[in-house]
Amino acid sequence: MRKLLSPTTQFVRSLATVLLVAWPAAVFAQTADTILFNGKILTVDREFSQQEALAIGDGKVLATGTSAAMKTLAGDKAKLVDLGGRTVIPGLTDGHIHGIRAALTFGTEVNWIGTPSLKEALEKIRQAASEQKPGSWIIVAGGWTEEQFAEKRRPTPEEVTAAAPDHPVYIQHLYDWLLLTPKAMEALSIRDDADVTPGGKLARDGNGKPTGIIDAGGSALGKIFDKLPKPTLEQQVEGSKKFFREMNSLGITGIVDGGGVSMYPANYQAVFRLWQDRQLTVRVAYHLCAPKPGSELADLQNLTQLLPPGFGDAMLHFNGPGEILIWADWTDGDITPDGKAKLAELLRWAASKRYTIQLHWNPDRTVHDLLDVVEDINKEFPVRDLRWAVLHLYNASEASLKRMQALGLVWGVQDGLYFGGERLQKEVGIEAAKLMPRIATAMKLGLTVGAGTDAHRVSSYNPFVSLQWYLDGTTIGGTKTRGEEEAPSRRQALEMYTRNSAFMANDDDKRGTLEAGKFADLAVLSADYLSVPVNEIGKITSVLTMVGGKVVYAAAPFAEEQR
């Protein structure tokens, strides 16, 4: 005898039947304007599923699946792109980079990033000298280290002067060393240590004469850099276009910009121009630093009066204050009681306004000062949903990571040790260095770990170099400093650069994975990220990059797709 169903059960079953019938019709009613097929689509969804094809419509992912299924979604004028078996990943987001600053001067600087020898680096100086007017500045703003050179040493002032005798030359190494040629020393009126404050020291020869080498930290180097001639606004705009296209060629479709040293409100005009003219090719979430010591809170309160959290649109938005909030906490040393009180006041204000924050902090021995402050603020203003990120902190202990996890803080791990691993070994010892940074431990504890480079003064902006370092812990000089026990998996590392960094940008509901309804931000790779040897990951590039379904970079065999 057939059992009678209750009216409620009948209704639920009828509704389910309607939905099952209607869902395919609703999907197929949307026609795609682009179909990528015959590939390996890494969706980076919760299951890390792999698909064969992807359909794009109105700038968003419509669906993923088999090539045959996706082709049925194609509209009459849809573009069909045969991937030829290539791997597709969500567009990468650098979760902490000084990209806006790098872009301003990218068109007028000499770039030593990735240059394999000092001989070739000096040749770039000679080439710039031959192309520029005598007396014009030649600037290498960073992103290199002697470990990358075959010669394993830095240039001498004599070598640089010989390469460009008629030009003032500025060559910065990370945030610890600067080389200036005699013409540069003269132009900047640098004669003694008082001219390179705070804390800078001039190297001198046997006769007590300055050599042109300056040992200094970020604050002093920033002040010197600020004295250099600035590109015009048009040069800044063109340099920004060039830099962002360079990033597109490496699969980058978004950045979380940290502001940083030498970044003042006026320095944002070039990126704003590109945004207004709809010429941005990366999505920008930007942070504002306190412009000067002593009035940080007042300055940030004034600058943000018309910048509520998230102000902007899908291509550019304000993400909050950071990374230099109180200049006293940016020195990588011990913060004073007065500095800690000021930091607490500023962070309490930021929490009350519900701003996302990026916090520069090193080392672990002092991070308790920061965490004490955040824990106290958390009692009044819960910070878990604010996506506050602690940056750098490469030597974070498990105890510190547990405190961060309890607060819902994000840990932004950059690849600075790719350039400084050998120095780290000398400072802490080979065995201790094997645990730095504790990425695997952080993930086991449940922290969201975001990826980034901190480029371009202190590192390369290449995300695949960073991904390779996350996986194998080997420096640019070939020294393996970190042990396997703290390495993420390939899946985890890619998630750091996609969904996790999009989370840092407050955009994880819109991008970071290739799921239906999210922006079609993606990169077609030159090699399969999941299967190439780890030591070849750093050589991967993008051969086709899309932002919102629009091609922003294309190389062979897809060059015609950008026309």
Q: What is the pLDDT of residues 340-353, one digit of tens each?
A: 999 999 999 999 99
C-alpha 118: how far from chain center: 27
pLDDT at 198 over 60: yes
Percent of the chain with pLDDT over 70: 94
Which range (253-267, 400-414, 514-528) has the least confidence?
253-267
pLDDT band at 26 (very low <50, low <70, confident <90, very high): very low
Cβ count near 527 (within 10 Å): 17
pLDDT at 305 over 60: yes
Mean pLDDT of 245-266: 94
Q: According to the model, what pLDDT value does residue 19 have?
A: 36
The amino acid present at 291, given as its one-letter code, is P
Helical spans, DSSP H, in 321-366: 337-353
Sheet strand arrangement including 389-392: 92-97, 252-257, 283-288, 316-323, 358-361, 389-392, 410-414, 449-452
Segment 222-252, tens digit of pLDDT = 899 999 999 999 999 999 999 999 999 999 9
**Alpha-carbon distances of 523 from 32, 56, 513, rounded to whole Å:** 18, 14, 12
Mean pLDDT of 124-145: 93
The partner residues of 553 in beta bridges, in order of sequence, read 545
Helix (H) or strand (E) holding 522: strand 522-525
* Residue 26 or 441, more confident: 441
Burial (Cβ within 10 Å: 0-12, 13-18, ≥19) of residue 190: buried
Mean pLDDT of the chain: 92
Q: What is the DSSP string of 188-222?
A: TT--SGGGGTTT-EEEE-TTS-EEEEEE--HHHHH
Segment 463-474, tens digit of pLDDT = 999 999 999 999
Q: According to the model, what pLDDT value does residue 492 have?
A: 98
Mean pLDDT of 501-527: 98
pLDDT band at 13 (very low <50, low <70, confident <90, very high): very low
C-alpha 217: how far from chain center: 22
Q: According to the model, what pLDDT value does residue 324 have?
A: 87
Interatomic CA distance for residues 285 and 256, integer angstroms: 5
pLDDT band at 563 (very low <50, low <70, confident <90, very high): low
Q: Would the CA dihedral through 465, 471, 475, 477 be positive or negative?
A: negative
| Three-class SS of 361-406 | ECCHHHHHHHHHHHHHHHHHCCCHHHCCEEEECCCCCHHHHHHHHH
pLDDT band at 332 (very low <50, low <70, confident <90, very high): low
Percent of the chain with pLDDT over 90: 82
Segment 16-25, tens digit of pLDDT = 333 333 344 3
Interacting residues of 167 by C-beta distance below 8 A, sequence separation 6+: 128, 129, 132, 134, 135, 136, 137, 138, 181, 183
Segment 457-499, tens digit of pLDDT = 888 999 999 999 999 999 998 999 999 999 999 999 999 999 9
pLDDT at 1 over 70: no
Helix 367-380 crosses helix 337-353 at what angle (to 10 degrees)?
A: 40
Q: According to the model, what pLDDT value does residue 528 have?
A: 98
Contact 214, 222 (CB under 8 A): no
Interacting residues of 439 by C-beta distance below 8 A, sequence separation 6+: 413, 449, 470, 486, 487, 488, 492
pLDDT band at 331 (very low <50, low <70, confident <90, very high): low
User: What is the DSSP-derived secondary structure letter of residue 99?
Assistant: H
pLDDT at 39 over 60: yes
| Three-class SS of 102-156 | HHHHCCCCCCCCCCCCHHHHHHHHHHHHHHCCCCCCEEECCCCCHHHCCCCCCCC
Contact 72, 35 (CB under 8 A): no
